[in-house]
Amino acid sequence: MNSRERIKTSLAFREPDRIGKGDAYWEDTLTRWYDEGLPHDADVKGVFGFDIEPIFMDASLRLPETLLEDTDEYTIRQDKIGYTAKQWKGRSGALGYLDHMIKTREDWDRLKSRLAVDFGGTSRIHTVSYFEPFVPYPTWAEMGATFRDLLAKERYLLLHVYGPWEATWRKHGFDTSLMTLALEPEFIADMCETHVDLVIATLDRAREEGIVPDGLFMVEDLGMSTGMMFSPRMYAQVIYPAHKRLGDALHARGIDYFMHSDGDIRTVIPRLIEAGVQVLQPLEAKSRMDVRTLKAEYGRDLVFFGNIDVRKMSASKAELEEEVRTKLAAVMPGGGYIYHSDHSVPPTVSFENYCFLMDLLSRYGSY
């Protein structure tokens, strides 16, 4: 069974030969691991036997990118998405947002036309993450050729893109977007729906070049450790319609629907299922998300992708083994589970411990 078949089998709630695997790391985690024995030129996905090949959609405004300040410690830049941010060099962590391009409806009306598939004249899909600044994009024909090469790897091809809420607040500001959501919900709804328009149009343009991903991975943080960022009512009124329309479009095109959200989002899981979401990730353990109870509650309604607590990865080996053994025992029967950490692996985790984790997944994750 190759990697693509393995993931497809799990998504169909059938049991593959072993659980599928994928993961993500902070930048300084890999820096530590290089010092501890990971070869600098290693294909991390190959070293750990991961089954998922990520590609990325640029659903930005494609604004001119400008480096405003460059020191030994940090850079400050204006990004194509619509924000100005400070980023520390060689260190993981969130960007320090300093400004956002869209402050008013007038700003939005002036700039929203840039959210067109052909704005900029190059492909909106690339093998390089949209998080990376100053990256030249290939032509559509060049990306089509690259995609054919990726198919030969026989991994599950997962296209990452911001969700409508995530894309909106990065243009409009996080605190500002929460206030606008409460006071002018139709403004946020318009930005969300316009984003979905672009995502769907990009998928259709990509198909013309033979670029058809297996799944779409919507990066859409809705929660905090204590619960939702906003009320379930506001979610249902403003953001859910965009999620549902995207879900309908994906299912019509035969593309699986993955969703990433940090935090405790248990109150809206039923609505996510109604929207067509098939796979939920990363299931943060510290936010009271637990596959042992979620599997019992949602059974075959959701595939679970993650939930192995990164805090256990730097604890004792006995604690880590207990984490893996008990969670896999609960979630593996009948398929429907893919390994991932419950967030990106932090630099507190040693290379030795992570290799031990991979051994545990081999031991307990085989059918």
Residue range of the domain that includes 255: 3-62+101-364
The b-or-e profile of 184-200 (16+ CB within 10 A means b, else e) is eeebbbbbbebbbbbbb
pLDDT at 94: 76
Query: What does the pLDDT look like over 277-308, one tens digit per residue?
Result: 999 999 999 999 999 999 999 989 999 999 99
Query: What does the pLDDT look like over 313-336, one tens digit per residue?
Result: 999 999 999 999 999 999 999 999
Distance of alpha carbon 238 from the chain centroid: 21
Query: What does the pLDDT look like over 30-64, one tens digit per residue?
Result: 999 999 999 999 999 999 999 999 999 999 999 99
Question: Would residue 46 count as lying in a domain?
Answer: yes
Query: What does the pLDDT look like over 95-125, one tens digit per residue?
Result: 999 999 999 999 999 999 999 999 999 999 9
Query: Above 90 in pLDDT, residue 91?
Result: no
Neighbours of 325 (CB within 10 A): 13
Question: Would residue 107 count as lying in a domain?
Answer: yes
Query: Above 90 in pLDDT, residue 27?
Result: no
Question: Would residue 44 count as lying in a domain?
Answer: yes
Q: What angle do CA 160, 161, 166 make, to 5 degrees?
A: 135
Long-range interactions of 357-361: CB distance < 8 A, separation 24+: 357/308, 357/313, 357/320, 357/324, 358/48, 358/49, 360/320, 360/321, 360/324, 360/325, 361/19, 361/21, 361/324, 361/328
CATH number of the domain to which 204 belongs: 3.20.20.210
pLDDT band at 361 (very low <50, low <70, confident <90, very high): very high
- Give the Å distances, CA to CA, from 74 to 70, 96, 344: 6, 11, 22
Question: Would residue 295 count as lying in a domain?
Answer: yes
- Total domain count for the chain? 1
3-class secondary-structure state, position 38: coil
CB 158 within 8 A of CB 278: no
Query: Above 80 in pLDDT, residue 142?
Result: yes
Share of the chain above pLDDT 70, in %: 100
CB 305 within 8 A of CB 342: no
Query: Above 90 in pLDDT, residue 92?
Result: no
Residue 286's region, left for phi above 0, alpha for psi from -120 to 50, else beta, is alpha
pLDDT band at 240 (very low <50, low <70, confident <90, very high): very high
Kindly provide the residue ranges of all beta strands, DSSP E only, lying in the chain, ordered along the sequence. Answer: 20-21, 52-57, 66-70, 74-78, 83-88, 96-100, 125-126, 156-162, 215-219, 223-224, 227-228, 256-261, 279-282, 303-305, 337-339
